[in-house]
Structure formats: C-alpha cells, structure tokens
Amino acid sequence: MLLFARARHTLQGMKLPEPNVKKAPSRRRSPALKAVAKHSKPRKGAGAANPFPFPLDRVDAAQAAPTATPQQARALDMAAGLRLEARGLFWSGWRLTHISEHLKIPRTTLYGWHKADGWDEAAPTQRVEGTIEARLIKLINKEKKTGEDCREIDLLGRQIERLARIHKYEKSGRESDLNPNIDARNAGPKKKPTKNFLSPEDVQKLKEAFLASLYDYQHVWWDNIGERVRQILKSRQIGATWYFAREALIDALETGRNQIFLSASRSQAYVFRHYITAFVKEVTGVTLTGDPITLANGATLYFLGTNSKTAQSYHGNLYFDEYFWTNNFTELNNVASGMSSHKKWHLTYFSTPSSIQHQAHALWDGSHMQDRNIKIDISHAALADGARGADGIWRHIVTVEDAERGGCDLFDIAELKRTKAEDVFNNLYMCHFIDDALAVFPLSVLQRCMVDSWDAWRKDFKAFAQRPFGHKRVWAGYDPSLNGDKAALVVLAPPEKPGGKFRILYKQQLHGVDFEVQAATIKKVCDSYNVEKMTIDNNGMGYGVYELVKKFFPAVRGIRYTPESKTMLVLKAQAVMRAGRLEFDAGDKDLAAAFMAVKREMTASGRSVTYTAGRSSETGHGDLAWATMHALSHEPLEEGTGLATTQTKSFFEVSE
C-alpha cells in the first residue's frame, strides 16, 4: 500500500509521453464500428487516461470512469448486434470471409470473435439456442407486432422449453425428461399383468420339452394318463415325482383341470411345487407364484400333507405320493379319493414298497374289495408293461432293471447288488415288500410317530431360520462312518416336562468324509442349535471323531457297543415309540426305513442276542436309527413308564 501511495504522489504532475507507434493503415469499417470509434475518443478538457487500477487524486473509481453518451450506447448496441448476427451467419454455414464482406467487418475482428466465443466448439443445441435467442429478442423488441410475429414468438418459446428438456435429459438419461407424457402415463393406474400367464406358444414349448425328456417307462405312464385310477409300484430314484409334477402341469395347462398333490407331509408335497416352478422358469422364463398356484386359465395346483381335515375341501386330479408310507391310509384314502369323484378326474397312486402289513397293500393286491370275488395277478411278469385289473385299476411295476431297459442309465446295478444284502436290494430296487410282523421296529409302530411337522411344530420350530429352534435346548446323537458306510447326525428336542414327547428336528447323513469334516459338521450344528447333551459311538474309527468333538464340546459322551449296550438302546427306543412319545416328519421315510432295517440276531458265540442292520446306500447300516437311539439314551430307561424317581439317571452315565 505504501508503494502505491508514493506512485500516486509522483505521477500527479507527471506528463506521460506519447507512444511512438506507427499509425496503422486505414481499413474500411462498418458504420457501427466507426460510430464506436468516434464516440470513444476522449472529450476535450479531459485528463489523460488512468493507466492504474485505482483512481488518481483520491477520486472514486465510479467518478473517474467516463459516462457513455447516448450516441456511444447506441453504437455499442449496434456492435453487439453485429457480433450476434455474424455468429448466426457462421452457424448457418457462412465463411468468415463472406461474413466480413457482407457485414463490412474486418476479418481479423471476426476471427477474434470466432475464437473468443468458441463458435466452432458450440454444440448443435447451443447453435440452435443462439439463433432462437437472437430471433426471439428481435421480435420482442418490435414496438408494433403483427399476428404472425406473436405466433412466431409462441413457437420459439416452445422450442426453448424443448431445448431445456434436452439439457435435462443429457444429465439424467431419463426418457421422461424428453417426453413429459411418459410420467403422466406412468402416474395413472396400471393394468396388472395376468398372474401366472403362459401363452399357447409357451404351453407348446413346455409339452415338447416334457415329452423329449422321458424314458420309456415314463412314456408308458403318459400313454395311460386317461386311466381313471393308476397304481404304480416303483424302484427308488427313477424320477417318478419329477415326472408326475410335469405331467400334472401339462394336463392343467391343456385342460384347465385342477391338480392335487398329496404327500406324507407338506414339506414332501412342496417337492412337486419346486419341480413345476423350475421347469416353467427354465423353458419359458415365467416365474409361477402363489400357494396354491393358480394358472391364468383358472386351473389350480394344490400341495397338501396327509391331513384328512384339509384334504376334503378340494376337487381335481389326485396324485398320491409314497402312499405305502402314510399313516391311517384307509381313512385318508376314503377322504382323498372323494376329491376325484367326478368321472373327469383321475387318481394316481405311486410309491416305493414298504411293509406287507401296511393298509395300502390291500388296495394294491385287490383285497380291499372283500365282498367281491376278485383275483388280481400282481406279479412282476403280469404288470411289467402295465395292466388294468378286474377292479378297474391300472397297475404298473417298474424295478431298477426295468428302468435301465427303458433308457435310464443312472444306476450301476452290479455295484448295487455287490454292496447290499439281497433282501435290502430287493426291497429298495426290485419292488419287494417287507414282512415286518416280527421286526424290531415294525412300520405300524413307526407310523404312529409320523406327523406333518410344518403344522404340528409351527409354533416353535422354523426349519429354515438361522436358529431353527431358537435357544431351546436339544440333544444330539451321532453314529460315525465305519468302513465307508454313511455317518448320521440327529438332533431331537427333549420333552419340556417328564414323560413328554421327543421331536426329531434335524437329521443329516455323511458319506466318504474324514474325521475333520465329520467333526466340523457337528460343530456347525452346535452353532445353529443349543445343544445340551451329545452322545457319539466311539468304537474303532468313531474314536477319532469323538476326540475332535470333545475339544469344542467337552460334555460329549461316548458309547462303546456291546450286545448289552445295544439291547439297552433298542429297549429304550421301543419304549418311547410304543408310548407315543417320539415324533418325526412323515416325509422322512428314510428314517423309518433305517429303523425297519434293525434286526435281532444271535452273536457269533450263540450265547446272547444282538442287533444289527443290513447295509445299503439308502439306510446305511441303520445309521439314522442308531444316531436317534444315541440321543434318546440321555433319558433314563424308566422315564415315561411311571417308574422313574428323582434319583433316576441315564442308563449310560456309568460308562462315561
């Protein structure tokens, strides 16, 4: 500041020398530029121009700045107008040379405007905006406007609005910014798309994909879809549930008839739903929703458990899954078959064999009609190709060997025969029934334990939750893998009060894994459930799993198998079942099969009785049954019999 003050004091009387610049040759200029130059000269008597950014002699900048005369103002306006006009001509495609000649403006001046205003860099919308702006201002400034002028002003105003929408679209990318009608259209009530709609083309594609995927024996089922009643006795894992889910879907789409899937439990019935929705999604991309599923043509697909109270409210084609494993079949069938009383409906029963003593066996062999002298040949030779019996029921037997002849190459039958006992192989794959009249755990006793867990346990058990049973206590039993057999883990809920019911909440089988994986699996279950007690068979190879589990669950208890200990385990399980104190999901037929596989045998010495189970890929060596019995062993043998006292302890505590 001191430097600038001294400069002002020094320059007050100082006369600035005239700049020694040669006069530029005169060039022809437009009248507007001449007027600007004329009126821009310093007035007579006025001091020299101030070369500093501050006023001299302490005069305010506003006072020192020269005031433009009216003539100067008009001249500046004219020059600005020429600049806009020149820009407009340039954007119209004129060259600078031609603009210079037309407007009588030096080309160097035009070039300066061209660079300063970025005429070349302007986007198309900017060029249009500039042209509209110039024209609109010109029209607005007219004192007397014609009707044509007013219409043009209105038109140009609408174009400005359109350009504003374009600029907004450039930032957002939303189409509605270009066309406001889109938002208005979307704001109104929309017509909902038809739920579960499949076009005729979709139906045709589904049917073609369905028929192209069938084995020969499944084509036999399709060819006999018109039979009023069908009964199919089948081997395990030949795709019956998969097939009938698709068959029912195609029938519903083509005829509009309802389809009813009845299984031992609702969780098992939902396997049909999964097959149907996955098939439709894969072929057509349509996602079927709802429970039940109602198609656009009005057909409804119901998925039910074997609860006679809910099975009597519907009508349609009935598919009865694994009917040889359901409880109270006669009562349930009387109710369920009523859903298909009309002649337009058909009934389909299909299942793997269970016990000759099962109530459904009478329907299979025709003895359910005791008042009629009907004899039906139910041998494999008679029914291998399917046949209608004297009672009007079409029957079909499909063994694993039949399936292989029909194109199913998923089995290694020689391996199955080599690794399984003959009676086990015949039951699982050759459609032979078991006579369990003298069984340790007969099917009739196991059926009393079967419940529809989705309904019976819905208050406190959520199978798919992170902690399915919350923080309630559970007991666990584990039967480790021996010699390549399956290992099994069972989690059951103990009774809430003495003498109450046990519930098998969770089961898992492992095959061909080492000790570390088995222990890690148990650890994962302990993280999901509040495990209070656990028992593991620590014989032989089971000792390795026992030691690993003991590191994270020190309270684990080991059992060493002897004829006496096995007898105690079986007696406890029999007592619990006969008292009606055990429950498991009716769809867990592998659990029932594991108990049915347990047999009474004499020891090698012939001095005592022991219990064993035939080995198979389905039941293991009865591993699920033994794992369940391990968990049950935590309760005293007398509990539930009326003989228990406060001093009663688990019958294995002495061997811990």
The DSSP result for 314-344, as a single string, is --SEEEEETGGG-SSHHHHHHHHGGGG-STT
Within the chain, all domains assigned CATH 3.40.50.300 are found at: 200-429
What are the two backbone dihedrals, phi and then psi, of residue 520, each rounded to the nearest 5 degrees? -65, -35
Asked if residue 195 lies in contact with residue 291, where contact means CB atoms within 8 angstroms, the answer is no
Using alpha carbons, select from 360, 319, 332, 342 the residue that is nearest to residue 225. 319
Residues contacting 585, CB < 8 A, separation 6+: 265, 267, 450, 451, 452, 453, 504
Regions of the chain short of the pLDDT cut 50: 1-27, 35-36, 39-48, 51-65, 615-620, 643-647, 653-656
Question: Within 13 A of 267's CA, how many CA atoms are on the CB side?
Answer: 18
CATH superfamily of 200-429: P-loop containing nucleotide triphosphate hydrolases (3.40.50.300)
Torsion sign, CA atoms 390, 391, 393, 396: negative
Can you count the helices (H) and strands (E) in the chain?
A: 27, 17
**Alpha-carbon span 350 to 363, nearest angstrom:** 12
**Tokens 């039941």 belong to residue:** 619
What's the start-to-end Cα distance of the chain, in Å?
Answer: 99
Q: What is the reported pLDDT for 10?
A: 44
Asked if residue 364 lies in contact with residue 356, where contact means CB atoms within 8 angstroms, the answer is no
Helix ranges (H only) for 117-215 are: 124-140, 147-172, 175-178, 180-187, 200-212
Q: Per the confidence metrics, is the pTM higher than 0.85?
A: no
Q: What is the reported pLDDT for 137?
A: 81
Structure-token pair, residue 270? 């939902």
CB atoms within 10 A of CB 233: 22
Q: Which amino acid is at 466?
A: Q
Q: What is the reported pLDDT for 655?
A: 42
Q: What is the reported pLDDT for 394?
A: 97
Q: What is the reported pLDDT for 422?
A: 82
Q: Which amino acid is at 540?
A: G
What are the two backbone dihedrals, phi and then psi, of residue 451, each rounded to the nearest 5 degrees? -135, 165
Asked if residue 560 lies in contact with residue 543, where contact means CB atoms within 8 angstroms, the answer is no
Asked if residue 627 lies in contact with residue 479, where contact means CB atoms within 8 angstroms, the answer is yes
CATH architecture of 443-655: 2-Layer Sandwich (3.30)
Within the chain, all domains assigned CATH 3.30.420.240 are found at: 443-655
- 26 by Cβ neighbours in 10 Å (0-12 / 13-18 / 19+) ranks as exposed
β-bridge pairing 530-537 and 557-559? parallel
**Alpha-carbon span 186 to 19, nearest angstrom:** 72
Q: What is the reported pLDDT for 48?
A: 47
Q: What is the reported pLDDT for 587?
A: 85
**Alpha-carbon span 261 to 302, nearest angstrom:** 6
